[in-house]
Structure 1
Amino acid sequence: MPVLWKGIQVTFGFFLILGLLFASGVFSMLLYAKITGQGWFSEASTIAYADTLGGRQPIITTASPPPLIPVPLATSAMLKAPAIRQHPELPSGCEITSLTMMLQYYGVAKSKLELVPEMKRDNTPLKRNKDGSIAYWGNPNLGFVGEVTGSAKGFGIYHGALFELQKKYIPTAMDLTNQSFDMLEQQLRDGIPSLVWTTINFQVPDNWVVWDTPIGPIETTFMEHAVLLVGFDEQNVYVNDPSTGKSNVKIDKAQFLATWEAMGRQALSYKL
């Protein structure tokens, strides 16, 4: 009997030692996981349970992804778009010629002369005051005013009226008039040019004129001009100028922005 009791004591002691060793190992692993932040049973996720109307449902939560590092915006961009001269056929056709450049860049095989008949017009006859100044004429917000070919006095067309023709060939056309110039720069980063209104010499005009129109008086300038915006950097913008037919014409950015502002921040572009 003493021998049997002795054996039980030895066996109990053996299992007690094993239990202590196991508990010590588990404690060590849990302590390591807490210190390192690593889960024990899963590398990236844990499972919790939520009570729902259908019973306890597992909710899987994953480890938070590393924070995204913002990519700095490019400080310059330059596009290679067709350069088309409005002269000699369209001495007043800077807008339709600039639209032709945009359409050809987009992939529409249309010439400036093919687009002219499709352009909206305001055919209001020109009436002058006794001193020769214009008393009554068309409104460029309604359509092209005057004669684009130079056979009679011509003026131009503004964004709203030209937008309809642009949208006919570019379904994703956007009128970005009154938007910030930052948006036009982002368009260039995305590989998209914009048709913008400025002045023929890229200077703020001091010779404004006013005449009455079918929808009320308009104040404008015969220095009005439109170009295709194809590039920018920190100091300059670059345009394809239909007046000269030259591409990537460099203009001081501050100077250009002043003329763009003076002409009502008009701009047409599109989405990819």
Structure 2
Amino acid sequence: MRIIWQGLKVTFGLFLVAGLVFASSVFAVLLYAKATGKETALFAAGSTVPIAKPPAPVQTAEVSTPQPTIQTKTSAMIDAPVFAQLPELPAGCEITSLTMLLHFYGITKTKMELVAEMPLDNTPVKLNADGSPAYWGNPNTGFVGDVTRKQRGFGIYHAGLFPLLKSYIPEAIDITGEPFELFEQQVASGIPVLIWTTIDFNIPYKWVTWDTPIGPIQTTYAEHAVLLVGYDENNVYLNDPYSGKKQLQINKAQFIDSWSAMGKQGLTYMKK
């Protein structure tokens, strides 16, 4: 009898433990359902305890800051005066192009009046054995050599010529190194650009190097300057002091290559 009673106590204890475990499980499920708002689904027919998933990321609309765009006309043309550098100034393409720009602005100085005011670098030339310059002036300082070519003459670059332009036009700007689109925008606004290229509007096939008081320079004897007065999708239009032609049409891609080779130089002015 004692043995039977001991067996009943053990069996009852096992049932009690199992009941407590089951009750705890149900209570835990109910708590989970309450916390997650799934109590209705939990008691639906055939339902199972849902598996929690991480919340979906909040979708936010990307806000982009509007970028300013500069609208450039597809073509433009300016009616600017043209002057020839010849016969007086065989090496005077830059000062003659400056004369055109000043006349367009309203300053009626002649090329010969302006050439007398042009900055000069009078450094005497020293030659190599082959006759090429070993040491000479720097065109960024002033005109190098003789503009009349009665003696050896070369030219002047944007930095050397800019002070003279600025002395006549306070709004003058040096846009050397800027993208060609800016040069076009300038023309589209109605203002020409004094721009550097080569005499045949092609990339130079021969370069020369000499030392100067401010360091060596690499350049070409084909250096040339013109007045940019127009453009369209395929061409640019130039007032060329060498030929004396007005609105001379040159292939744009070809011209940009020559302009880039010559350092993307350009002088112009802003509207008042």
Aligned partner letter, 1:181:
F
Tell me the TM-score normalised to structure 1 length.
0.73
CA 1:217/1:72 → structure 2, altered by over 3 Å: closer, same or farther? closer
Q: How many residue pairs end up in the alignment? A: 203
% identical aligned pairs: 61
Q: Which residue of 2 aligns with 1:240?
A: 239
Q: Do 2:77 and 2:231's aligned partners in 1 also have CA atoms closer than 8 Å?
A: yes
CA deviation map 1:193-243 (0-9, x unaligned)? 000000000010111000111011110000000000000000000000000
In structure 1, the residue matched to 2:92 is: 93
Partner of 2:115: 116
CA distance in 2, matches of 1:73, 1:241: 24
TM-score under structure 2 normalisation? Answer: 0.73
CA distance in 1, matches of 2:234, 2:131: 42
What's the CA shift for 1:82? 0.6
User: Counterpart of 2:196?
Assistant: 197
Structure 1 CA distance, aligned partners of 2:171 and 2:70? 27
Instruction: Describe the shift of the 1:270–1:135 C-alpha distance in structure 2 as closer, same or farther (beyond 3 A).
Output: same
Q: Could you give the per-residue CA deviations for residues 44-92 of structure 1, whole angstroms, max 9, x where no partner exists?
A: xxxxxxxxxxxxxxxxxxxxxxxxxx99642100000011000000000
Residues 209 and 193 (structure 1), Cα distance of their counterparts in 2 relative to 1, 3 Å cut: same
Displacement after TM superposition at 1:257 (Å): 0.2
Larger Rg: 2
SS at 2:260 equivalent: helix
CA distance in 2, matches of 1:150, 1:128: 17
State the alpha-carbon separation in 2 of the partners of residues 270 and 71 from structure 1.
19
Alpha-carbon shift at residue 168 of structure 1 (Å): 0.7
Unaligned runs of 5+ in 1: 1-69
For residue 264 of structure 2, what is the aligned residue in structure 1? 265
Q: Equivalent residue for 2:101?
A: 102
Per-residue Cα deviation, 1:119-151 (whole angstroms, up to 9, x for no partner): 100000011111212111000010000000121
Q: 1:139: which partner in 2?
A: 138
The answer to whether the 8 Å contact 2:175/2:268 transfers is yes
Aligned to 1:182: 181
* Matches of 2:103 and 2:82, distance apart in 1: 10
Equivalent position of 1:173 in the other structure: 172
Maintained 8 Å contact 2:138/2:213: yes
Contact persistence 2:72–2:184 (CA under 8 A) = no
Q: Structure 2 counterpart of 1:269, which letter?
A: T
**Preserved CA contact (<8 Å) 2:76 2:231:** yes
Q: Give distance in 2, aligned partners of 1:140 and 1:251.
A: 26
Aligned to 1:219: 218
SS at match of 2:248: strand
